Amino acid sequence: MSAGEREPTREEILAMAYADGELAEGERREFEALLATRGDLALEVVRFRRLEVLARRAAGPEPMDLEWSRLEAEPLHRAGRRVGWFLLGGGLAVLLGWCIWTLIAGDIGLVPKLGLAALLAGAALLLALAVRARLCTRAYDPYAEIRR
């Protein structure tokens, strides 16, 4: 062992084995219980999984990756995706505007207004929670640095 290197700790060895799927059922459950309380150890597992992903990527592109690249380069495909997203976003904006207008100025009863308000509030809350969850878990994503 060269200067500056050290022996891996038992937890680091377990993290490597866990990342590689080499732990027995009982060891795996015990290690997962430890992971639930130790964010630093979870990040260590992610580090090992990132190494695995990078090693797989070093093998070169798969045929499906090449086909995705070819599709992305086609002007028709790119234009179709842009138009599709524009139509989806525009349609959602119009529908959301109509819902808000109906809530404020519509002559519908109180029950439909409450139902529509609950629907909009619930959708906004779920969207906010999904974005928050993604931001909180991004550091643990072994594919975060991989670009297809």
Q: Assign 3-class secondary structure to the chain.
A: CCCCCCCCCHHHHHHHHHHCCCCCHHHHHHHHHHHCCCHHHHHHHHHHHHHHHHHHHCCCCCHHHHHHHHHHHCHHHHHHHHHHHHHHHHHHHHHHHHHHHHHHHCCCCHHHHHHHHHHHHHHHHHHHHHHHHHHHHHHHCCCCCCCC
pLDDT at 139: 79
Count of C-beta atoms within a 10 Å radius of residue 112: 12
pLDDT digits (tens, 9 = 90+) for 89-128: 999 999 888 888 888 887 788 888 888 889 889 999 999 9
Instruction: Kindly list the domain boundaries of the chain, sorted by start residue.
Output: 9-60
d(CA 66, CA 73): 11
d(CA 36, CA 39): 7
Q: What are phi and psi of 73, to 5 degrees?
A: -80, -15
Q: What are phi and psi of 7, to 5 degrees?
A: -70, 140
Find the angle CA(100)-CA(102)-CA(103) to the nearest 5 degrees: 65
Which residue numbers in the chain have pLDDT < 70? 1-4, 61, 144, 146-148
pTM (predicted TM-score) = 0.47
pLDDT at 90: 93
